[in-house]
Amino acid sequence: MPNKKILIVGGVAAGTKAAAKCRREDPNAEITVVTKDQNVSYAGCGLPYYIGGAIQDRAQLLARTVDELTATLEINIHVNHEAVSCDTAKKTVRVVNLADKSETEMPYDALVIATGAAPIPPRGKGAELGNIFTLRDLSDTDAIKALVVGGVKNAVIVGGGYIGLEMAEAMHANGAKTTVVELMDHILPNFDGIIALLAQKHLREKGVEVITGEKVVEFKGDSGVVAAVVTDKGKEIPADIVVWSVGVRPCLKFAKTCGVKIGVTGAIEVNKKMQTSVPDIYAAGDCAQSVNILTGKPAWIPLGSTANKMGRVAALNICGIEKEFPGVLASSIVKIFNLNAASTGLSVAEANEAGFDAESVILAGNDISPYYPGAKMILLKLVADRKTHRVLGASLIGAGVVDKPVNILVSCITLGATLEQISDMDFAYAPPFSTAMDMVITGANVLLNKMRGHIGWTNCIDVKKRIEAGEKIQILDCRKPEMFDDGHPAGAINIPWGQLYKRAGELNKDGKVAFSCKIGQSCYSAILILQARGHDNLELCEGGIAVYPYEVEKKQVEIARE
């Protein structure tokens, strides 16, 4: 039997992964990679960090060079070559050398489309001006880097997704006054609202302007380069540089010449073996559609991690080893200055739409033992199904470690864990690494408590909305007076913990009392005790003051004047 010809179009994550895995599974195969780029296997997710300066050495962005891949894996790599069309009957691909425009016809036994995704291009009046960028590859990166190194006064980032926020931080690190403009009512549109509000608060504290609910509709120029952006509400923001990061779209130009079916998400439809609708043609990576494990519905979540897994699964099936890719949870994680934010699975709304009966809870706590140096706060919002107690989703934010709990929860969600199962997991514990009861365990326990419904639950966003709507709610902050004075929700009264039972007469008799403390833990016990004594109007403010995303009120301290 002649050696199998495997042709891969695209050479970043999915493409090179598929090539390497095919080599390992079939040492005799003829493996060819064709890519429009100058490079293969570059670190697409690392580009903002190089622009911001966290990564100093550009060479670090090239995971593997063409020479390395060629020498070690015996793969034929054609950079600066574009696959322009496919003859699926003859099983050949027409490839153009972009340097000399010469054409080749490359045969395949198996073809992998790994053409990735590209940023949605800037739109609006003046979008053709200079210094308006999108970020996809090393050439975009080099152009942006050159400009910011030269000195940029005002940067505008259009789009507050994670690439937008990473670029905002990179611009700020280069000394630019930076503004993020987000169309939706909060940044991180795929994240939970409270997480996003806390991220916005942090960005503003760091000096990054955040504008939400506005759309950039026009670019004003000066000598052919951008000078300002204008929003649909008429706001004009000075900008020497604009990074347009409103999202990406799958690159389907080549795929369409293959006649492969496009899915409802707009990406290439594949089955779990990464096979397209056309025999012997596979798709993998950011151009391919996936499925949400929890809802069973098509999902398109372009990410380097998923691209690698898809590339591997395609390679295994091409080489005769049956393997299915089960799908994604839409997990994501982002560093925003000193905060880390992560998300996986479904929100309450998404879960209910998918037929679950979802409940959630917010809690705050330490990432490691509070007495060990370096302990930092994290906030966890956990979502589970009321009927089965199966955990369905999680969002986290904080200065502390969030990648660990989110990934523990990724495995729990994937494997169908219930809150009860999580509650007893034997996580490795020592003070430098975690608390004795890990945050994930406490989250499961608190959500189970909430589901029992024996007390009322609320949260600071909900309380604010209800008070604004005219509801009579007394906010009780039961921390120590010095903590209260240092910052508390507007209008709150303070009865410290130790005096609570004696001073219970001061609590509102009519209307509700929203109980708050540092992280919401202590009030739980207090409410249970007071409830047993006849107070039936108490509500626990989930997560306590730790998750309060608004401006706090401070005690007016009189300063003696000389």
H-helix segments, 437-521 = 439-452, 460-468, 481-486
Q: Which is nearer to a copy of itself, 387 or 452 (CB)?
A: 452
> What is the CA 137 to chain-centroid distance, rounded?
20
Of the candidates 347, 349, 331, the residue with the CA atom closest to the CA atom of residue 406:
331
Please report whether residue 395 would count as binding a copy of itself according to CB under 8 A: no
Please report whether residue 317 would count as binding a copy of itself according to CB under 8 A: no
Please report whether residue 558 would count as binding a copy of itself according to CB under 8 A: no
Cα dist from 382 to 239, 266, 400, 417, whole Å: 39, 30, 17, 13
Q: Which is nearer to a copy of itself, 190 or 257 (CB)?
A: 190
Please report whether residue 40 would count as binding a copy of itself according to CB under 8 A: no
Kindly indicate which of the ranges 18-26, 114-122, 354-362, 504-512 contains the residues binding a copy of itself, using the contact rule CB under 8 A. 18-26
Asked about 86 being catalytic, the answer comes back as: no
The C-alpha angle 229, 232, 235, rounded to 5 degrees, equals 50
Kindly indicate which of the ranges 105-113, 193-201, 413-421, 457-465 contains the residues binding a copy of itself, using the contact rule CB under 8 A. 413-421
CB 273 within 8 A of CB 162: no
Question: For the packed helices 193-205 and 162-173, what is the interaxial angle rounded to 10 degrees?
Answer: 10
- With CB under 8 A as the contact rule, the residue among 407, 494, 508, 537 that binds a copy of itself is 407
Contacts by 418-425, CB closer than 8 A, 24 or more apart: 418/384, 418/388, 418/389, 418/390, 418/391, 419/384, 419/389, 419/390, 419/391, 419/444, 419/445, 419/447, 419/448, 420/389, 420/444, 420/448, 422/391, 423/448
Q: Which is nearer to a copy of itself, 47 or 460 (CB)?
A: 47
Report how far residue 158's alpha carbon sits from residue 165's, in angstroms, rounded to the nearest whole number. Answer: 10
Please report whether residue 1 would count as binding a copy of itself according to CB under 8 A: no
Q: Which is nearer to a copy of itself, 410 or 507 (CB)?
A: 410
Please report whether residue 85 would count as binding a copy of itself according to CB under 8 A: no
Q: Which is nearer to a copy of itself, 96 or 334 (CB)?
A: 334
Please report whether residue 305 would count as binding a copy of itself according to CB under 8 A: yes
- With CB under 8 A as the contact rule, the residue among 219, 254, 325, 337 that binds a copy of itself is 325
Please report whether residue 74 would count as binding a copy of itself according to CB under 8 A: yes
Residues 482 to 541: which contact a copy of itself by CB under 8 A? 497-498, 500-501, 522, 524-526, 528-529, 531-533
Kindly indicate which of the ranges 82-90, 184-192, 206-214, 330-338 contains the residues binding a copy of itself, using the contact rule CB under 8 A. 330-338
Please report whether residue 381 would count as binding a copy of itself according to CB under 8 A: no
Phi, psi at 140, each rounded to 5°:
-60, -45
Question: Sign of dihedral through CA atoms 466, 469, 473, 476?
Answer: positive
Q: Which is nearer to a copy of itself, 254 or 524 (CB)?
A: 524
Beta bridge partners of 345: 393
- Taking the complex as a whole, the smallest distance from the CB of residue 528 to a copy of itself amounts, in Å, to 5
Catalytic residues: 45
